[in-house]
Amino acid sequence: MKTLNSVAASLLVFISLTFLPLASCSADPIPVDPEEKEEQEQEQEKKEEPEKTGSKTLLVWYSFTNNSTAIAAALRSHITADALEIKPAAEGLDYAANNYAIGSSLIDAIRRNPSAASSYPEIKKVEVEFGEYDTIIIVTPLWWSQMAAPMQSFLFRYGGNMAGKTIGLIVTSASSGISGVVQDAKRLIPQGNFLAESLWIRSAEVGNAPELTSAWYDRLFKTNNQNTSMKVTITAGGKAFTADIDDSETGRAFLEKLPLTLDMSELNGNEKYCYGLSLPNKDSRFDSLEAGDLMLYSGNCIVLFYGAAGGYSYTRIGKIADTSGLASSLGSGSVSVKFERQ
């Protein structure tokens, strides 16, 4: 297991790994008092609370003849989302009167000068903490093949706050195709992470909105949000390292356990180890391990090497590619090491 020069030292290492460290690991399977366990879990939940920030969904819509309102309500009965309705500041306008005269002139003004704030009609004040959301779903009518003007006003004002967020777009029209509305959304949220497929619901189909919206959401969002990354961030001593996890039964089982914080014990100046996490193993002898190797020993011991080693049987979990600073971050004694999926 170690690169040691004497048989005696190797034996000492084996004994210490095999018999001593069971109680020193925070991911331990050792039976604990249920009350104590509950307290520990509550404590853990408290610690994890800040990480939940920014994971909510905001569902925002504008509607003139209530189709978008019905679509938003249908989707809202399928998902958990905060709701925000955009309302024009000017009340009682009939955008469709006189062959859609008002709606038409509003769209014309934006088309003529899309970068001027004065081109966009005033909307009622909105208060949104954008930092709370990682996903924003927009439901909007189509006007003259563009996004309805009041929704454009909202996005002109706040699209910059949506950078990096997942953006879903649902458009309703009588019959016109929605590509112009998709272009408007991308112009107004230039750094949005748009879903590959926007949903088009014709006016005549609004009655089917529950089925249409839930099928769209499940198809796109659930796939989009599934974490398929095989990379993890390993944080120790205030420094973060990236490890590539093997696409193996062991690697995938390890990823399933994350996030995880292990109190890892020191061994022989080249590894930190922690018993208590059982994973499927297919052990074989490794004669040449190096800093950054993340291994499973005897099916229930996570070993992170920060120096050269070898001579024992392991199953590989993964590897840190860039190990600069790893040894100093892990230090010379026991250390708390956090493993999180990227």
Minimum CB distance to ligand FMN smaller for 95 or for 312:
95
Smallest distance, ligand FMN to C-beta of residue 111, A: 13
Please give the biggest Cα pair distance in the chain.
Answer: 96
Smallest distance, ligand FMN to C-beta of residue 184, A: 13
Minimum CB distance to ligand FMN smaller for 107 or for 295:
107
Minimum CB distance to ligand FMN smaller for 175 or for 226:
175
Smallest distance, ligand FMN to C-beta of residue 154, A: 14
Contacts of 60 (CB under 8 A, 6+ apart): 83, 84, 85, 86, 136, 137, 138, 139, 154
List residues near ligand FMN by CB under 6 A: 63-68, 95-96, 100, 103, 141-145, 172-176, 203
Minimum CB distance to ligand FMN smaller for 107 or for 320:
107
Smallest distance, ligand FMN to C-beta of residue 157, A: 20
- β-pairing verdict for 335-341 and 260-267: antiparallel
**Residue whose beta carbon is closest to ligand FMN:** 103
Token output for 272:
């930190």
Minimum CB distance to ligand FMN smaller for 71 or for 277:
71
Smallest distance, ligand FMN to C-beta of residue 84, A: 15
Q: How far apart are CA 269 and CA 170, in angstroms?
A: 57
Minimum CB distance to ligand FMN smaller for 88 or for 103:
103
Smallest distance, ligand FMN to C-beta of residue 92, A: 14
